Each structure stands twice: as C-alpha cells, then as structure tokens.
Amino acid sequence: MLRRAVWRLQPTLTRQFAAQPQGTQPLSSISPHELEKFTRISAEWWDPLGPFKYLHTMNRPRVQFIRQLLLDMHKSPLLANLRGIDVGCGGGLATESLARLGINMVGIDAAKENIMMARMHQQQDPMLADKIEYRNETAESRLGGEPGQNEFDVVVSLEVIEHVRDPFLFVKSLVDLARPGGLIVLSTMNKSAVSWIVDIVVPEYIMRSVERGTHDYSKFIPPEELVQMLQACGVQILDTQGLVLNPLTNQCTLVSQDCFGPLLPNAGVQANYILAARKI
C-alpha cells in the first residue's frame, strides 16, 4: 500500500492512449494477484458487516446516480427495455439493484467463486430469475462473442479498475461493450492524501474492518486520468460526483465535484468518486 510515483500527465496523453499498439496490450486486463485475493473472500459478499461492508454502504448512492442518468437520457421512468452489463460484478450487489430497476442485466466476473455466490443469492428472489444472467468471464473475453450481444445500453464497473493491471485496456473494453449512445459508469478512488486516509488507513489499520492489502494506493486513479482514458476511446463525459464515505457512521453520500466552491476545487472527489460518460 505504499505510494508509488504518480503517473505524470503529459499534453499528449490522449494521443498516446489512442495510438497504443494493439500488439503490446495483454490479452486480459485481469491481475492474477487481485483475482486470487477476491476469490479468497468470495463467500462473504453478502455479509453487510464483512470485508465488503463499504461496498454495501456505497451501493445505494451509486445506483441512484446511475438511475437518474438513465432517466435523463431516455426521458422515461420505464427502464425495462434496457440491457445492462456489470463488469467485475463480484457477488452481484449492484447487478441485483440495477435489475430491480427493470434493466435486463448481465453480470460478469473473472472469479468463478464470485459468480457462484451471485447466482446463489439471485435464487433467493424469484423476480430476478429472468432479469440477470451471470457469466464467469472478463470484459475482453466477452468482446470475442457475437457483436450484437455486446451492445449494451448501460455498462457499469464499480470499484474494479483499481484492481486491474492495464487500466486503459480495461476502459477501452468497457467502451466497446456499449452501444453508440450508451451509458458507461465507473467508480473508483482518487489518488490523493484524502483517499489514502479514507480508503486505506482508516478501514485497514484503524477500524480493521477491511483486510490489510485490499487496496494498493499505487493503483488509485485521479479523475483527470480516467477522463483522458475515456476521451481517448471516443466518449463524452457527462458527470463526475464524489462518494463521501464516513467509516465511523457507515454512511455514504453523493456530492458534487466542487461542493465546497471555487476556493477548494474538486474537493468533492478527493476520495471515492463516480464518473459517467456517453459513447459517441
């Protein structure tokens, strides 16, 4: 969890991303070390007081953010005709919540144990039987299927990108899964002193509610870097909001990026944040 040298932004960063040779990219963005780590605790996904406690806490505001964007984009309260995919779905926390909005969901995860837990929990609610399809696969392997099956109205990946080995390949895969005009939503951690304290020091060393080593600060991604990755893939940025997590009260609130005004720019996204884009 020690700080690694921050990736220095260059004026040509977007062009460098866009021109990255295909032959230099790995076949998968998955990190074997991270995969093993989450496989080990997969049985605890639905324990609201377990190692995924803060994902349970953040789930409601994250889903509210996605729902409002979809309502604004489609100008209709009915989301039943939409197709969505949750990449890195884990045990299905967000997948189930989005399915309950009416969206026909696909949940994919590289860890088969996570998919097993997601399917087991899905069986507890008969209403979800025909609303969710869980698959043990990655975003990259999913793209190898039939093109028509991979054009989703909404692509979400929540608290996943900070665990992959190639963030840009991962972002590109998410964009490729969306149909033209489709919504892409990611949430992750900023690379800042605040995020280091809120997402590592407090939960892992003070509260001890999360296993030490769950997060690697060197993999945290500032919003401006994520924006440039997305723009290099041909998307329009729609909104960025902060997810303010209070580990002492176990509450999470959505706040605007500049919630403290011009004197403290981007104060709202110094720790966790959620970002939405539309595929052009």
What residue type is assigned to position 100 of the chain? R
Give the separation between CA 210 and CA 49, rounded to whole angstroms: 10
155-165 as b/e: b if 16+ CB within 10 A? bbbbbbbbbbe
**pTM of this prediction?**
0.86
Spell out the domains of the chain, with CATH numbers in brackets. Answer: 25-279 (3.40.50.150)
Beta strands, E only, 159-211: 178-189
List the chain pLDDT tens, one digit each, 280 residues.
333 333 333 333 434 444 444 444 445 788 887 888 788 889 999 999 998 999 999 999 999 999 999 999 988 778 988 999 999 999 999 999 999 999 999 999 999 999 999 999 999 999 999 999 999 999 999 998 777 778 999 999 999 999 999 999 999 999 999 999 999 999 999 999 999 998 899 888 988 878 888 889 999 999 999 999 999 999 999 999 999 988 778 899 999 988 877 777 788 999 999 999 999 9
Alpha helix segments (H runs only) across 136-258: 139-142, 167-177, 193-196, 223-232
CB 227 within 8 A of CB 275: yes
